[in-house]
Amino acid sequence: MNTRGSIPVVSLLAAASIGLCGCVSTTTGSNVPNRIVGAWLVRDPNAPFPYHMYVFNADGTMQQANPDAGDPHGSDSDGKGIWVANGERIKGKWVEVIADRPTHQFSGRLEISYDITVSGDTYTGTETVLSYDAAGNLAAGPATPAQLVGKRITLP
């Protein structure tokens, strides 16, 4: 039996199946990306530096960044995470790795879970923050949920 011709077909079908898996939970059901997709300026009143940039990607991933100057003891300016649409709400979680400034050693991580609702070019919601030490033990949290407010970055 000649199986050489079937290998490319099987590979193509597998790649197509994998590619379709990431699209289901982040769309509105008509292959239109969810309203959260895009770049946002976010105000987080509980953070050491209250202004952040969030980017929500159509594949259900997101990035967070804020100036590194917010915390004089630890460096925690960049986070990565995931999100899913749940009706009109967006639920997700992102993680920041923290380094001790004087020693440059890993000192723990923050896990930030959020629940937000988008309305046009703004969103509002809450977040819950858990802090873990370098050994992975819960060090603090959950703190009182903070009220997040996001404004979409748009072209003039």
Residue 103 domain-assigned? yes
Q: Residue 90, class by beta-carbon neighbours within 10 Å (0-12 exposed, 13-18 middle, 19+ buried)?
A: buried
**CA–CA separation, 32 and 74 (whole Å):** 40
The pLDDT score that the predictor gives to residue 32 is 60
For residue 81, the domain's CATH number is 2.40.128
Residue 96 domain-assigned? yes
Contact 23, 57 (CB under 8 A): no
Task: With CA atoms as reference, report the closest residue to 81 among 36, 46, 123, 120.
Answer: 36
Per-residue model confidence as pLDDT tens digits over 6-28? 444 334 334 444 343 443 345 44
102: cis peptide before it, omega within 30°? Answer: no
Q: Stretch 27-53: mean pLDDT, rounded?
A: 83
Q: What would the two tokens of residue 86 be? A: 């749940």
Who's near 56: CB < 8 A, 6+ residues apart?
A: 34, 36, 37, 38, 40, 62, 83, 90
The pLDDT score that the predictor gives to residue 20 is 36
Number of domain units in the chain? 1
Q: Stretch 135-154: mean pLDDT, rounded?
A: 91
Per-residue model confidence as pLDDT tens digits over 66-118? 887 766 677 777 899 999 998 889 999 999 999 988 898 999 999 999 999 99
**Taking the model in full, what pTM does it have?**
0.76
Which residue range(s) make up the domain with 92? 6-152
Residue 1 domain-assigned? no
